[in-house]
Every structure is written in structure tokens, then in C-alpha cells.
Amino acid sequence: MPWWLLGVSMVATTFSADTPNFVADIVRTKGVASNWMWWAFLLTGMLTVFVYARLWRRSGVATDIEFYELRYSGKEAAFLRGFRALYLGVFFNVVIMATVCLAATKIASILLGIPPWQTLLFASVVTVFYSALGGLRGVILTDFVQFILAMVGSIGAAIVIVNLPQVGGLEKLMAAPELVGKLDLIPSIEDKDLFLTLFVIPLAVQWWSVWYPGSEPGGGGYVAQRMLSAKDEKNALGATLLFNITHFAIRPWPWILIALASLVVYPELDDIMAAFPGNTAARGHDLAYPAMLSFLPAGLLGLVVASLIAAFMSTISTHLNWGASYIVNDFYGRFVNQKATEKAKVNVGRIATVVLMLFAALTSYLIENASDGFQALLQIGAGTGLIFILRWFWWRINAWTEIAGMVISFLYAMAILLLRPELLDGEKWMLGSLELTDSVLLVGGVVITTVGWFITMFATRPTATETLRTFYMQVKPAGKGWKKILGNDIPAPEGKLPNQILSMLLGTIMVYSALFAIGKLLYGESTTSIILFGITAVCGVILWLIWRKKS
């Protein structure tokens, strides 16, 4: 597949029905700067672009789970591959799809008056049908059309909503008293708690230490799936770059504007609930997005609803295909029936697709809002991210390291879920004078999990030297971490990593500058916007020059 089609497919997958709801939720409660909890993952994305895209392509695996038996050795490698296929392909995948299903039910409840079970029945049947029929190629091709429709719908909705009489246009919106303290792009340092939890921790800890779908440190998941289906290394790199530019710099602003406008029309959550007394979906600030869409004129509303259906379908279809590929390639074909015909594998994949959708629909009833699902996924993956980075560059990382990280992080997250009192009665959870907020608990998970897997790594035997040498010869990762296992017959690592890290930093500055430039332009700060666009252009030119040298 070409880079532009794969890049759009990645963006379409992350443009799910729950994403605008999630953005509305956090903007209403904590302001625009709260988006740093996911903006920080740009650092991970740029590492994937300039470092990992090439490595994944060279690995030659069909899925990123198959990678485990290329990189590690012994029964522990086989166990890790099989267990991880079910852990990610079923458990994690179902939770992700459940949050998307939840958003779909809230949108349908507000805009169409349809009960959740009916929404899930209609949407699931259609999506399961073409996902099972078309496979990955069908998903990627439909993603392209669905993303265009989704972007047209969100931009059109933002323009109309900002110009509603209740809002009064962009200039009046930015001056509205309800938005005081909500417009900062970076949290004010005067509010130390928000500055620490929304800005410092995501940038200093979260991006490299947490496994999150679509932003995996070291690449992985459906992003790796797309890179592995690219024509070559160049197309894999171009696809991930397009994805990160569009995902972080361009797409968020229509959602943010609608969220800000909702604060003017519905300052409190009770205002939304009062305006839609017939709503049957779970209570939460994420209802603000569909509530604002109800103001759209009939024709545009139809387009926007269609765009949200497209967003739902593109995300669910990718996750169904992704999960089914793990179940078929890395569990059924590897451990259950190694002699299975292609026809048998296709049939198993189709059955898996239906079952995954059913579990996701049922699980959506256990989640109340989009931000809860986001925080749960972050907590479960806390502390494992560094493993996925180091396994490319350090021979000592072994299969037991990953097993330990996965188990410890999961047990910690489950303990938090079961013990945290505020989930039951709204009380704060304190440790002495320290409030155990989501960010504090995330850092705790990172520390405990990292210490656990680091000790396990040195307490267990390393991967077989021959496996490591074969892996190095095939993938050719840079860095000094491989020298100990390389013999005289294997050349020393190539010295391209410093240039790749420089490209990653330039790419990060370029995208953040573009993100803030668009924001400042919308805020009416044209001079600052021009300067930021200039920085974007300079970084882009330097990156292009570096690429010409094939660093």
C-alpha cells in the first residue's frame, strides 16, 4: 500500500466516535491545555516515524505479535506471543472498542433518540459485515472515504456552531466569561497541580513509559500493521509522518471549538441533562459534543451524523481486523492448528470478528464516559513503554522482561480499580497529605512496574545469542547496546541513530508549532500565529534536507 493511503487510514482509525466526546469532556472540565494528556504522545509518534518505521519494515513479520519469536527465544517467547495475542487482541481491544461504542450510544441518544441497544445492533451488524468480508485491504480503502467524510462533517459543524446566535462568532466566543482560564494552550504554572498533572507528567513520564493503542513506544498495534503493509521503508515512514501531522496538528481544533462553544450554551452538566430529559445514555460532560450538534440545520446535521457513523465504522473495523489478525496469526495458526488452510484461517477470523464485536458492545455498558476509558487504558499500560523502546537497542531485554511488565502493570491497575474509594462514593483518596490523583497513580504504576521488570530481567536468563545475532542481522538496529553479542563476523552498528533522534526532535517542534499556530490564529493572535507557522516551515525544510541525505 502507498504511504498516503496508509497514513489516512491511521488517522481515520484514531478519529473514532468517542474522540470528539473525549475532547469535549476534558476541555469542559480542565480547559484546552488538558489535551496534553494525549498531545504528549507526539514524541512517541515521531520516534516511530524516524526510528521504528524502518525497523518494523525490516523485521518482515505479519503482525507485531509475531515479532516476539523473532526477537526472543525459548518457550517463554512462544508463551509471550500466544498470551499477548489474546491479551491485546481480545481484552485490551474489547475495552478500546467499548469506549467507541459508548460514544456512539451517547451521540445516537442525544441526536436521534435511539436507545443504546438499538444503536449498537445497527452499527455493529454493518461494520462486522464489511470488516469480515473485506479484510485489511477493505478496511484501509473504506478508511480513506470515511476520513474525508468525517473531517468535512467536523469542520462544517464547528463553523456553524461557533456562529450560532447563542455563541456569537469566534471573537465573542474567545471573550466569553465562561471561557476564563480554559483557553491556555499550556497550563498556568501558578496552578501547580494542573501544571504538573496535565503538562509535566505527560511530557516527562507518560509518553515513553505508557503503552497506549496507536501511540505505543517503539511502535506497534495497528500502526505497525499499517507500516508492515507498506510498499517499502520510505512509504512506511511517509505514512506515519502524515498520520502524526494530521492527528496532532490539524484534526483537534474543530472539536476544541465545539467544546468551548458548549461552555457558553451549557455552562454546567445539569444544563445539558435538563435540555435532553429523554436522554438514556450515561451522564457525563462528553454529552456536550452531541448536544451541540443538535443545533445544526437538518442537511448539515445529516452530514455530521453520517460523518460520525463513518468515524465509528473506521475505528471499529480496524480494531476488529487487528484483533482478529492476532487471534488467527498468533494464536490459532501458531498454537491451535499449525496446518490450518487459508480458508480455515479466514473462517476463524470472521468468527473472531463477530465475537469481538459482541464483547465490545456488552462492555460498553460498564463505562460511563470517554475519559474514564482513556485513564483506565493508560493505567493498565503504565511502566511497560520503556521495554518496547529498549528491546530494539539493548540485547539484554528478554521475554521474561515483557511478561513481568505486563503482569505487574495489570495487577497494579486492577488493585487501583478495586481499592480506590472515589470510584464508589466520590471521596478523595489521600496518602497522608498527598492526593492520589490519576497522574500520581500513573507515576506510581510506572515506578513499580519498571522496578519489577528490571529486576526480573537480570534474574532470568538472557535470550539465546544466536537468536539475537539473527535478529540484529535482519533488522539492523543502531546503538551500542548490541556490541556485546556481536562477533567479529558481524559489522558494528551503523551510526545513524543521532540523526534519527535529531529528525524526531525537529518533527516534534514542527508539529507542535503548527498545532499552536492554528490555535493562536483562532484566538485572534495573528502575529504569534505567523511566527509559529514560520517555525513550522523552517523545521520542515531542515527535515527535508536531512531526508535528502538518507540519514
| Residue 119 shares a structural domain with residue 21 | yes
- Residue 86 neighbours by CB under 8 Å, 6+ apart: 326, 327, 331
- Residue 71: name the closest of 374, 464, 417 by CA: 464
What residues does 435 pair with on adjacent strands?
Answer: 430
Q: What does the alpha-carbon distance between residue 3 and residue 241 come to, in Å, rounded to a whole number?
A: 9
| Residue 449 shares a structural domain with residue 514 | no
- Joined grid coordinates for residue 320: 476488529
User: How confident is the model at residue 307, as a pLDDT?
Assistant: 81
- Joined grid coordinates for residue 443: 507515576
| Residue 387 shares a structural domain with residue 518 | no
| Residue 174 shares a structural domain with residue 226 | yes
| Residue 502 shares a structural domain with residue 458 | no
Decide if 85 contacts 326 (C-beta within 8 A). yes
Decide if 255 contacts 20 (C-beta within 8 A). yes
The full DSSP string for 265-292 is: H-SSHHHHHHH-TT--SPPSGGGHHHHH
Domain final residue pick, 441, 463, 485: 463
Q: What does the alpha-carbon distance between residue 91 and residue 96 come to, in Å, rounded to a whole number?
A: 9
User: How confident is the model at residue 491, as a pLDDT?
Assistant: 66
Q: Is residue 218 part of a domain?
A: yes
Decide if 158 contacts 139 (C-beta within 8 A). no
CA distances from 248 to 212, 281, 409 (A): 15, 29, 27
Residues of the chain with pLDDT under 50: 423-426, 551
Q: Is residue 489 part of a domain?
A: no
| Residue 332 shares a structural domain with residue 449 | yes
Decide if 425 contacts 257 (C-beta within 8 A). no
Long-range CB pairs of 134-138, under 8 A, 24+ apart, other chains included? 135/321, 136/225, 136/229, 136/321, 136/325, 137/1
| Total domains in the fold of the chain | 2
User: How confident is the model at residue 371, as a pLDDT?
Assistant: 63
Decide if 116 contacts 109 (C-beta within 8 A). yes
Longest dimension (CA), the chain: 75
- Residue 251: name the closest of 158, 371, 141 by CA: 158
Domain final residue pick, 420, 438, 463: 463
Q: Give the residue numbers spanning the domain of 530.
A: 496-551
| Residue 56 shares a structural domain with residue 141 | yes
| Residue 203 shares a structural domain with residue 258 | yes
Q: What does the alpha-carbon distance between residue 381 and residue 143 come to, in Å, rounded to a whole number?
A: 27
Decide if 401 contacts 450 (C-beta within 8 A). no
Q: What angle do CA 469, 475, 478 make, to 5 degrees?
A: 90
Q: Is residue 474 part of a domain?
A: no
| Residue 109 shares a structural domain with residue 242 | yes
Q: Is residue 485 part of a domain?
A: no
Q: What does pTM read for this prediction?
A: 0.84
Q: What does the alpha-carbon distance between residue 112 and residue 275 come to, in Å, rounded to a whole number?
A: 14
Domain CATH number, residue 210: 1.20.1730.10
| Residue 508 shares a structural domain with residue 443 | no
Cα–chain-centroid distance for residue 69?
Answer: 25
Decide if 179 contacts 332 (C-beta within 8 A). no
Q: What does the alpha-carbon distance between residue 27 and residue 22 come to, in Å, rounded to a whole number?
A: 9
| Residue 397 shares a structural domain with residue 531 | no
Q: Is residue 217 part of a domain?
A: yes
Domain final residue pick, 463, 485, 508: 463
Q: Is 463 helix (H, G, I), strand (E, B) or coil?
A: coil
For helices 116-162 and 298-325, give the axis angle rounded to 10 degrees.
130
Q: Is residue 480 part of a domain?
A: no
- Residue 272 neighbours by CB under 8 Å, 6+ apart: 266, 285, 287, 288, 291
Q: Is residue 479 part of a domain?
A: no
Q: What does the alpha-carbon distance between residue 541 and residue 239 come to, in Å, rounded to a whole number?
A: 18
- Residue 288: name the closest of 264, 312, 311 by CA: 264
- Residue 530 neighbours by CB under 8 Å, 6+ apart: 517
User: How confident is the model at residue 369, as a pLDDT?
Assistant: 64
Which stretches of 17-116 are assigned E, i.e. beta strand? none
Q: Is residue 346 part of a domain?
A: yes
For helices 399-419 and 370-381, give the axis angle rounded to 10 degrees.
140
| Residue 533 shares a structural domain with residue 404 | no
